[in-house]
Structure 1
Amino acid sequence: MGSMDYKFLQIEIADNVATVTINRPEVLNGLHPEAHAEMERVWEDLAAMNKSRSLF
C-alpha cells in the first residue's frame, strides 16, 4: 500500500466513508498529470486499507 500522504488531495475517513478532496485552489482544483497520478494512487490505497464502504 502506498503512503497516505498526498500533495494535491486531502483524505478523511469517518464511519466507513472516505472523502477525497482535491486541494489545488490556485488552479480551481484542476488536475495535471502529477495530481491525476496521485488520484489513481489514492483509490488503490483506500482499497488496500479496506476501511471504507463508500467514497465521496
Structure 2
Amino acid sequence: MRVSPGAVTGLDMGAALAMADALGINPLVVAEWVPPIEAQLVKALSERQRED
C-alpha cells in the first residue's frame, strides 16, 4: 500500500506484480485488474476513515 499521513493513496504496483510473479499469476492479468480494485479499495478505506 502507498500511504500518506492519515490516508491510503493506493497500492504499490511493483509489489503487486512481484507477488503475482511469485504466485505464478500472469502479470498482464494483474496489470489489468489491480487498478479498478485499487480504486474501490482506496474509496472504501477513505470512507471508513471519515466515519471514524
The TM-score range, normalised by the shorter chain, is 0.3 to 0.5
The structure with more radius of gyration: 2
**Greater helix proportion:** 2
- TM-score, with length taken from structure 1: 0.42
**Greater strand proportion:** 1
